[in-house]
Amino acid sequence: MRYGHFDDERREYVITRPDTPLPWINYLGCQDFLALVSNTGGGYAFYKDARLRRLTRYRYNAVPPDQGSRFLYLRDDERTGSSPECWSPTWQPLRRPLDAYECRHGLGYTRIQSRCSGIESGVQFFVPLGEDLEIWLVALTNHRSRQARLSLFGAVEFCLWDAWDDATNFQRNLSLGEVEVEPGVVYHKTEYRERRDHFAYFACSEPTVGFDTQRSAFLGPYRGWDAPLAVEAGSLSNSIASGWYPMAAHHVRLTLDPGERKELVFLLGFKENPPDGKFDPADSHVLNKRGVRPVLDRFLQVSECRLALSDLAAHWHDLLSGLQATTPEPHVNRMVNIWTAYQAIVTFNLSRSASYFDTGIGRGMGFRDASQDLLGCVHMIPERARERLLDLAATQLEDGGAYHQYQPLTKRGNNDIGAGFNDDPLWLVVATAAYLKETADWSILDHPVPFDSQPGTESPLYEHLRRAVQFTLNRLGPHGLPLIGRADWNDCLNLNTFSSTPGQSFQTAPVGEGRIAESVFISGLFLLAASEMCAIALHAGRSTDSEVLEAASRAMREAIWAAGWDGEWFRRAYDSVGAPIGSRQCSEGQIFIEPQGMCVMAGLGIDDGRARMALDSVAARLATPDGIVLHAPAYRSYHLNLGEISSYPPGYKENGAVFCHTNPWIMIAEARLGRGDAALDYYLRINPSAREDKSDLHRCEPYVYAQMIAGKESPSQGEAKNSWLTGAAAWNLVAVTQWILGIRPTYDGLEVAPVMPSGWGGFEAVRRFRGATYHVHVTRIGAGNDLQLEIDNQPVDGTVVAPAGPGAEVQVVVKVGALAE
Ligand code: BGC
Ligand code: NOJ
């Protein structure tokens, strides 16, 4: 069953009923001002950091869910009496049945269109490029045969900045709230009189007849956002918040003739003043609003909002045109050309901080997460990728290790979870390699970057990368495999941090010696990173470094074959007493997906059949119609010595769910073996669009990946969870575009080496690369994966197209398969 449909032409997903299985959300904002918006207007906004600069409040674990923070109410002022007619044009929070409803989530905007009682309303939410504000562009049309007299109320509930503190520290916070009011504008300035230099504001383009800034005045006693007293009464009381719960509501009265349409704007903004220019006059406590006035003057005009919307559309059009493909498979086209690229940028912006599953009060930016997210969008936003690499490297520790997370506002590593996730630093190498292949900007290697954000410790980025790889080599275990530390990619495989205390974080539980537990997964990742590092070192004229790494890689390969191979697949790890994990010797957790993907991606066993054996084992033991599970059998009881992994019931999360992040590793591995059919098959099992028809089972949004889909051993197999912020976006995009379509940047140029599914007659693609545009035309001429390339009508050897230089248009014709004799 579906709850909507794709509109590929307009690059939108159209939701046709408000009661989706879960809130289906979208993101607004491209850089500093960011917001979540659901299909009924829920969500919240923040500036840069979802925890430390939260603008509007989100109510965690609320029932009914998803009420807030864009409150719009319409009231029919002709119907008076005990039960006036009121509704929300976005359905929530009033949830009165609407005569028509449609939500279109597009690239950086969401539009909710509805109709009730003869009044049509359309609300478009978006954040203009380069501005620190969110616009609600509202249009109302009277379809009645008579004049309509309406009240429109627009409201937000402010969060007192630090969203964690806001949700917990009532004894202080309920005595802090302060606002200022000017006609049509409410300013939220809690804590501004002391150490904050920033404030928020909520404005309306139409003359207003009233406002409220104290929540209790607006809602009335014992009422919620779904039954505000002031809306029912049809008038606000001009309340001024002092402490308690500052909010902003504006009341507009409208008279619409039959057929008349009226547009107006609500605007939620953020402003930071210079510390010495906070007040106006300087010796007062009155906000200096001079910086805000021109913004209000501009964006409270509908025409300016329309211009900003078309700028936004052009921005996204430009980003996505970096890679467009037309294949025989609509689910590939839709996801590659629109949604996965979009999701990759959203995850790049937010890491794992703020979604409907990541609360925005927990994690900051993850080191490995941000590194991998970059893989999916470096071709669209190379400058931002460069900045991100330098930011990440600046949080790296002197020993080459990394904080697991850093705070986006301060860009400093945070110690909440600490360091010691031994895969983390290697991802920085993988990400930098992707950046270099895309841009050939070798100068980044010389860029001075501090360690642990400490001035005076600056070293060239190259040195950071070198230490990242050396970090693994300095931490080898009894079998010569990398020590795992607190965990590797699988955050829940905590082989050194045992926890028998309820509620304790598995990842910060005291770490044991840590000299025994080893990770085969990290060994594969090491080989991948080391081979990139060798190429980088050679390019940088550091041939000694490359020789050292070659030797280390040889030793690592030997260690893997000696201790990491189980006979039919790669083992996962060794625990703290040296017992294998992910082996046929185990009764549960016999085989894991991660090392099969990573080791084959690193090239292991491709020549001697062992890669094929490993992937065949994946197909036989881990693949399900809903994707490939992490491991099997899932753990049925709690194993103290394995950490968080077995804390989940079988089939959920890291205990044997389908992780959409790791499935693409198997797709890439299959492509490396030339098995395009298997690669595409796996791709389609988890492709959200291909699962749209079972939205009632899948439950999450059909336009973006979720972190996981419940595995075969769970009672709700096939149900997705934790949508949006997942490395699945980047990796699925890489797998399908670089390995199935085969269009991938290399240090020397753009490689075009498709591993096409046998049923495809061909495909077309356009790829921007280092300033040139490559038009790729692929045709199957026979069975198999043989490739013949012609560049601008000239046959060439090999599959790498040399860079053509900025502005060039290059035609690349590829014939796939062997001609029948
Ligand atoms: C979750 C993991 C997540 C980790 C983040 C764990 O509690 O189960 O999925 O990766 O926290 O640090
Ligand atoms: C989500 C985390 O953000 C990511 O870093 C980790 O690799 C996966 N979960 C698997 O545990």
pLDDT bracket for residue 508 (50, 70, 90): confident
pLDDT tens string 524-571: 999 999 999 999 999 999 999 999 999 999 999 999 999 999 999 999
- Mean pLDDT computed over 651-659: 98
**pLDDT value of residue 744:** 98
pLDDT bracket for residue 69 (50, 70, 90): confident
Q: Tell me if 492 CB under 6 Å of ligand 1.
A: yes
Contact 621, 590 (CB under 8 A): yes
pLDDT of 80 > 80? The answer is no
Q: Tell me if 51 CB under 6 Å of ligand 1.
A: no
pLDDT tens string 142-173: 999 999 999 999 999 999 999 999 999 999 99
Mean of pLDDT over the chain: 96
pTM: 0.97
pLDDT bracket for residue 788 (50, 70, 90): very high
Q: Which ligand is nearest to the CA of 363?
A: 1
Write the DSSP assignment of 706-756 as a string of letters.
EEEE--TTSTTTT-EEEESSSTHHHHHHHIIIIIIS-EEEETTEEEE----
| Cα–ligand 1 centroid distance for 303 (angstroms) | 45
Query: Count of alpha carbons within 13 Å of 761, Cβ hemisphere only?
Result: 1
pLDDT bracket for residue 821 (50, 70, 90): low
Which atom of ligand 1 is closest in space to residue 648's alpha carbon?
Answer: 8
Q: Tell me if 491 CB under 6 Å of ligand 1.
A: yes
pLDDT of 81 > 70? The answer is no
pLDDT of 649 > 90? The answer is yes
Element (H, E) at 687: none
Q: Tell me if 278 CB under 6 Å of ligand 1.
A: no
Q: Tell me if 491 CB under 6 Å of ligand 2.
A: yes
Q: Which ligand is nearest to the CA of 652?
A: 1
pLDDT tens string 188-221: 999 999 999 999 999 999 999 999 999 999 999 9
- Mean pLDDT computed over 244-265: 98
CA distance linking residue 29 with residue 27, whole number of Å:
7
Mutate to test the pocket of ligand 2, among 491, 507, 659 (most ligand atoms within 8 A of CB): 491
Return the active site residues: 491
CA 94 distance to own-chain centroid: 30
Q: Which ligand is nearest to the CA of 505?
A: 1
Helix (H, G, I), strand (E, B) or coil at 399: coil
**pLDDT value of residue 510:** 76
Q: Which two tokens stand for residue 515?
A: 């000299």
Neighbour count for residue 258 (Cβ, 10 Å): 12
Q: Tell me if 358 CB under 6 Å of ligand 1.
A: no
| Cα–ligand 1 centroid distance for 380 (angstroms) | 29
Q: Which two tokens stand for residue 206?
A: 């139409």
- Beta carbons within 8 Å of 303's beta carbon, 6+ residues apart: none
Helix (H, G, I), strand (E, B) or coil at 513: coil
| Cα–ligand 1 centroid distance for 604 (angstroms) | 29
The residues pairing with 606 across neighbouring beta strands, listed in sequence order, are: none
Give percent of the chain above pLDDT 90.
94
Mutate to test the pocket of ligand 2, among 660, 661, 708 (most ligand atoms within 8 A of CB): 661
Q: Which is nearest to 633 in space by CA: 682, 582, 667?
A: 582
Q: Which residue has the higher pLDDT, 821 or 779?
A: 779
Element (H, E) at 619: helix 610-621
| Cα–ligand 2 centroid distance for 455 (angstroms) | 31
- Mean pLDDT computed over 717-722: 98
pLDDT of 509 > 90? The answer is no
- Beta carbons within 8 Å of 215's beta carbon, 6+ residues apart: 157, 241, 244, 245, 246, 247
Q: Tell me if 366 CB under 6 Å of ligand 2.
A: yes
Q: Which is nearest to 270 in space by CA: 45, 426, 585?
A: 45
pLDDT tens string 586-627: 999 999 999 999 999 999 999 999 999 999 999 999 999 999
**pLDDT value of residue 817:** 96
**pLDDT value of residue 635:** 98
Strands (E), 450-606: 459-460, 518-519, 573-574, 580-581, 591-592
pLDDT tens string 22-45: 999 999 999 899 999 999 999 999
Element (H, E) at 779: strand 772-780
Which atom of ligand 1 is closest in space to residue 352's alpha carbon?
Answer: 5
